[in-house]
Structure 1
Amino acid sequence: MKILLKDVISESPGCKDLLCSYFFKTILFWLSEELPTSMWKKDNLIPCFMKCVKRLIYCVEQSMCPHYFIPENNLFENKIIGHGRRKLLETLYILIDYGWQCIFFSANISMVSLICTVQFKVDLFLNNIQKIIKSKVTFPRAMCPNVKLIDFVGSLQIVFASQTQKLRSLLLLNMTQTGLIEAQMVLLSGLQSNHNIYKRYKQCLCNLLLSTYHDAATGWLMLVSLFYKNKQYNKALCVLSYLLQKITREKLYFGANLSHIHRELFRFKTFRKRGIIRTLRILFLPSVIFYKKDYLIPNEIKTGATDLNPAMITPVIYLHFLTFLCHYHLHNIGNYQESLSDLRLTIESVMIMLTNL
């Protein structure tokens, strides 16, 4: 923390002499009371460091840093205010965006061997990817049956108000995933006028196009489902031919282990520069989910889904199944026989993969 203060924060324009090491010691004292003793060990150096940085940001945001021995005394009173506070927060927000690696802005720390640093970053990136695809964060959840349409304007305001790029990315992912669920709930037939059906179709199409931001294929597959349900088989096949290039064997599934191919891919700096969220958008394939009141389910699929237990299909299987259905309805005999064979082989390979998880 002292290195961060002396070599980084104090060197930032408008931040010199705003903070002193005693403030950092005070934050450390308070955290030492809040966290268990077992937390303070060498293995937890980085998490402890990040907790201190985040607490510092909170104190600056509130212009409040209680003295450890005399809590009624605010060390930031009449000091961290006005223009200086704004400049300090700008600097701290930039540093927190870099995570623990912000310490490398120090000229003294950055003299560490570049090779060791790069290798450490690669290993950290790989470990983070592995943790995420095995965590429940990526596991499909049931949707509340009374879900309401999201307010996209309000949601965008929240996204743009977010202070870090990582948080903005997560909020956008959540927003587009919600849009995907809403598209599946739009009724496209029934006792409605042609005008209303067309209006709902455009609404559904808009939400599905937004959802293509979410991951490598799910939004696109649901777009194909929309075309298929509306008997636009040639449009569906155009998107499916595009997806055949995206849903390839190096893609990641929920619970999968990183293969040698993945580890070699992530050694390229281009992936690490994209960050974890954008990398997962390109490489991660969550299951296609169908809900009980899902109007995009092809009539040929009987899901047995309920409000609390949606049906899930592996994306690559669903892709080949839709390809077969489109060729079948277009009477492309040779093509639908070939796609049926591809579907059978795909199911067999997926079953083998799932048994190895």
Structure 2
Amino acid sequence: MESAIQRISESVFLGLCLKVGTSKVVAMRRDMMGINDMVENKTTIDGFCVMLSGSQGEGFRLKESDLDSMIWPKNQRVIWELSQSQYYNTHRQTLFLCDYSDSPPGFTLLYLLSPSMDRFLRSVCVTMYNRYYISSSKLRHIMCPTSSNYILHGPCSNGTFGMLEYDHAFCFVCDFWPPSASSWIDRCHSWPQPDVVGDIVQSGCHFVAIGHKLGNHEDHEWRISFSLAEQRLINSMNHCQFLTYGLLKLFFTEIINKGLNDDDKLLCSYHTKTAVFWAIQQNTIPHWCPQNLLGGFWVCFKLILKWVYEGVCPNFFIPENNMFLSKMHGDKQHHLITRLYGLYEKGLTCLLHSPSIRSHIINVLQNPRISICTDEQTLISKAWFDRFLYNEIARNEAVYFNSNVQSCMRYLHTIKQMIELPLLTQFQVIMLQKIASLVFCKTAFTLHMETNMFENKLRYRTDKISCHMLKLVARFGFITDMQYIAMYYYKTLRYMNALSIIEMIKVKLAQPYVLYRSNEDTEIYTEAVGGQSWSTKMRQAVAWHITLDDRIHYISELIPEQQASLQNKTCALTFPPFILLYMLEILCYLHVDIMKTQTVLDDLQTLVQYDEGQIIDLNYRDISWQILGICQQVTGNLHAALYSYQQSLRQEPYHKIRTATKMRIQGICQWNPSII
């Protein structure tokens, strides 16, 4: 029986490596997100630091993985006792002192020590005990922008950039370890290692703007955040421990919380993370290895069941902070206990309810003698690793650049300095290269927007700079990034130049080794570019979606869609590259050879109507029908355009452009009443 469990554990380990990632893939993801943090923090001059956190910061790329970022001011610090103020220049830095005498464990009030206050701090202060305290609720509402790009979500402002959803949490930083968490240091005998403990303690903690629901000052309290410490702990896990955490996340998503709305979900990913931390530190599993993966899972599951039964979930750093205190009670608690105990009685067979895990268990049960390889190096080929790499590069392009030339130039200066650092990993170097490509692109278009009304000589000079930058975009980016050059040529009325670039892109995309979506022939890819650097592979053999920042007008015909996107909490539009390529070609031919527009329009219509997810991602059907409608409208085929816009409305509203679609339909019907 023990041997069977070990073999099933190995099979699940294999499945999780393919689902969650091998140790090399996860390390690559963390490296790339880390370099984004470095670029942001070295570039910003507006006084804020940024740290990416959440599941994606930990290295997960599951469907439900969130991208969180913590943002804090550089010139404001929190201290635990007055003696710590000696380490700061109070003329340049504003200090807050913790007052946790009347707050639940893990929470505190922050009162202002510095006598001078700027207007912003005054606006978020309340007076208590003859002192000025920073109100978490006031600051939370002020820091959630009034524009429609964000909504308030707990202590965070929630928004989207393209298809990526994210949470921003404004917080304050403290350079000192909390006194209430000192017992954690004493518990670290076997895990984590002393150097990790020292690094965590030296890094201090943060305070996020949310109070305890049962606290005396809920609206004004701040919660101590150990996000940075937790990230360091997860990075110190071996891969089996990390996959155990991943298995628990899948278990809760696909089984425990399946079908529940957010209000009914008493357990979340943070509770699973806490359980894994406690299980590792208490040495409940002697060997965290592939053969013992399910044993580690079961220990953590039983620990969570015990917590739910007792109504006590001790915070890993401050055990006195019961994270169940305000929500684990009454009928909901009883229902959850019943549900968890029912799964506990089934034993490990409860995992058969998980779509992600089921097949790997059944595979061993049906084939008891099957050979299972747990060597991570042989699980994925180099070509498949390249796929993961390119996906990560596209996902992690720094997307929060300010749309002005000065900001873009600061980013370029930072990247130039960082590319020469000796300790960068190979993954970070290629990520820096792609970020540079993005900055060059934004700089070129922003420069054109800001100087378009200037006198001819200056426009000529800036045009040469923009063209040079866009050539660098093509040199450092994917094949499809060449489309930015074509867009710029179209925008500046150089239609033949744009058509020449479009033809070059078509030739490159027609090569059988190009990786894009449904292309599974990695052998041809390996044969063609296998020995090349990642930089060369990107430029010659990788196609990707095109993302247009809504704050920059690349193509005038898409302005209504960009405005609708901005109004609906989205900062960018993402296009299938082939769709946008056809659109550019049609727009250019309208000015140089109108007879050829119909041929290209027919090709675009065939692609949109008959593609079954091979070239156009199903999530991009709304924007694809929209592009077809725009092209039909500009060529004068209003009946077809109306039909395409109507089809766009029938798709999943992934890009949130329905306002623009309805506006275009209304425009057609107003000018041509007979078309209705």
Q: TM-score range by the shorter chain?
A: 0.5 to 0.7
- What is aligned with 1:143? 400
Contact preservation (8 Å) 2:393, 2:431: no
| In 1: Cα distance, 2:442 partner to 2:551 partner | 10
Letter in 1 for 2:395: T
Q: Percent identity?
A: 14
Aligned counterpart, 2:446: 185
Which protein is richer in strand relative to its size? 2
Give the aligned partner of residue 274 of structure 1: 532
**TM-score normalised per structure 1:** 0.58
Q: Does 1:288 align with 2:549?
A: no
- CA gap of 1:233–1:31, structure 2 versus 1, over 3 A, is same
Q: What one-letter code is carried by the residue in structure 2 that aligns with 1:170?
A: M
Given that 2:514 and 2:525 are in contact with CA atoms closer than 8 Å, whether structure 1 keeps it comes out as no
Following superposition, the deviation at residue 329 of structure 1 comes to 0.8
Deviation at 1:267, TM superposition (A): 4.3
CA apart distance, 1:144: 3.8
Paired residue type of 1:348: Q
DSSP-derived class of the 2:408 partner? coil
Counterpart of 1:339 in structure 2 is: 600
Residue of structure 2 aligned with 1:129, choices 383, 386, 389: 386
Give the unaligned 5+ runs of structure 2: 1-191, 198-232, 242-286, 292-376, 621-676
Supply the distance in 2 between the matched residues of 1:265 and 1:323 (Cα, whole angstroms): 29
State whether structure 2 residue 528 is matched by structure 1 residue 265: no
Matches within 5 A, 1:164-243: 164-188=425-449, 190-243=452-505
- Higher RCO (CA < 8 A, seq sep 6+): 1
Shift of 1:185: 1.7
- Assess if the C-alpha contact under 8 Å between 2:551 and 2:571 holds in 1: no
Aligned length: 253
Paired letter, 1:264? E
The structure-2 alpha-carbon separation of the partners of 1:294 and 1:146, relative to structure 1 and needing over 3 Å to count, comes to closer
More divergent stretch after superposition (191-200 vs 316-325): 191-200
Q: CA RMSD in A?
A: 3.9
CA distance in 1, matches of 2:445, 2:544: 16
Q: Which amino acid aligns with 2:408?
A: L
Q: 1:130 to 1:289 in 2, by over 3 A?
A: closer
CA distance in 1, matches of 2:397, 2:415: 21
2:415 alignment partner in structure 1:
155
Contact (CA 8 Å) 2:470, 2:484: kept in 1 or not?
yes
Residue 135 of structure 1: CA displacement? 4.9
Superposition deviation, residue 241 in structure 1 = 0.9
> How much does 1:138 deviate?
2.5
Distance change >3 Å, CA 347–CA 356, structure 1 → 2? same
CA 1:154–1:300: 2 relative to 1, 3 Å: closer
C-alpha distance after superposition, 1:52-89 (max 9, x if no partner): xxxxxxxxxxxxxxxxxxxxxxxxxxxxxxxxxxxxxx
Shift of 1:143: 3.1
Which structure carries more helix by proportion?
Answer: 1
> Which residue of structure 2 lines up, in the alignment, with residue 299 of structure 1?
557
Q: 1:252 touches 1:283 (CA, 8 Å); kept in 2?
A: yes
Is 1:324 the equivalent of 2:324?
no
Q: Give 1:244's match in structure 2, choosing from 503, 506, 514.
A: 506
AA of the residue aligned to 2:498:
A
Query: Taking structure 2 as the reference length, what is the TM-score of the superposition?
Result: 0.33
Q: Aligned partners of 1:201 and 1:258: how far apart in 2?
A: 37
Letter in 2 for 1:125: K
Please state how far the C-alpha of 1:282 moved relative to its aligned partner.
Answer: 3.0
Comparing 280-289 and 232-241, the one that deviates more = 280-289
- Which stretches in structure 1 are left out of the alignment for 5+ residues? 1-27, 45-119
Match of 2:32 in 1: none
Q: Deviations over 1:115-166 (max 9, x none)?
A: xxxxx66933144234345558526664344550235455334213344544
Deviations 1:274-332 (A, max 9, x none): 25554344333232222233242243663224385211221111111111111111134
2:651 is aligned to: none
* Secondary structure, counterpart of 1:290 in structure 2: strand
